[in-house]
Amino acid sequence: MGLAAVLAGMALMGQTVETVQTVERTDSLFTLLSKGGIVMIPLALCSVLAVTITMERFISLGHKNMVPSGLEDELIGVLDGTKSGKVGKAKEVCKNHPGPLADMFLTGLDHWEHETVEVEKAMADTASLRVRKLRRSIRSLRLIGSVSPLLGLLGTVVGMIRAFQTVALSSQSINKAELLAEGIYQAMVTTAAGLTIAIPTLIVYFYFNNRIDKIAENYEEIGNRFIFRFFRTRLKLEA
């Protein structure tokens, strides 16, 4: 009974020591990333670019910038005659709120004396052009999300080739399996890094794409209100 307890205790101590040694052999995150090779440099650049573009787009595509507060009400007030000025004053209001929505209103004001159908088409074309520009501004996120896994895969292939080459040229016959395993796990670092960059980047890309869709719908609704109020009802003012 006592001998069994001693043997069990020795076995447990052996497992504990082995676990501690394993933990001590585990590489830190920085060390592990540094073993990814030269491919980690473009992956790091992709990561920095993705974060920078994401932060900039969060601000640029915010509701405050896309639909300036008070622009529509101020414009209606000027055109309805509740404030001094007419079409020229309305254009000044739009210029004081630069952005896609103001550009759409300016197009309508530039066609103030035209037929309703012409005004509607001109405003729709302007809004469509601005929305396409917004979509182009997030394409780089999709590019990063697509290229990062490929860079990671390239790094893994290069690392595995190097690992097999090291094993093949090694004069040791006993530790070849350990050398190969170490080389493979180091090579897989780039694949993990590429996927870690790509997954959140693509999620952010589709989030922004969905936000732009909502912006386009909002512009369509605002434009229809503007046309109905000042063109379909023919409430024209002298320019």
Q: What is the pLDDT of residue 26?
A: 55
Residue 97, SS3? coil
Q: What is the pLDDT of residue 122?
A: 93
Q: What is the pLDDT of residue 13?
A: 41
pTM, rounded to two decimals:
0.77
Q: What is the pLDDT of residue 36?
A: 66
Q: What are the distances in angstroms from CA 21 to CA 16, 17, 18, 169, 185?
A: 9, 6, 5, 29, 18
Q: What is the pLDDT of residue 12?
A: 44
Q: Which one, of 225, 232, 239, 200, lies nearest residue 76 by Cα?
A: 225
37: left (phi over 0), alpha (psi -120 to 50) or beta: left
Q: How far apart are CA 218 and CA 213, in angstroms?
A: 9
Q: How far apart are CA 95 and CA 105, in angstroms?
A: 10
Contact 125, 223 (CB under 8 A): no
- Tens-digit pLDDT string for the chain (239 aa): 433 443 344 344 444 434 434 434 455 656 666 666 788 899 999 999 999 999 999 999 988 889 888 888 888 888 876 554 578 888 888 888 889 999 999 999 988 888 888 989 999 999 999 999 999 999 999 999 999 999 999 988 888 887 777 777 766 655 667 767 777 777 788 899 999 999 999 999 999 999 999 999 999 999 999 988 887 655 444 44
Contact 198, 138 (CB under 8 A): no
Q: Which amino acid is at 213?
A: D
Q: What is the pLDDT of residue 176?
A: 67
Q: What is the pLDDT of residue 33?
A: 64
Q: What is the pLDDT of residue 29?
A: 59
Q: What is the pLDDT of residue 197?
A: 94
Tokens of 89: 């004053």
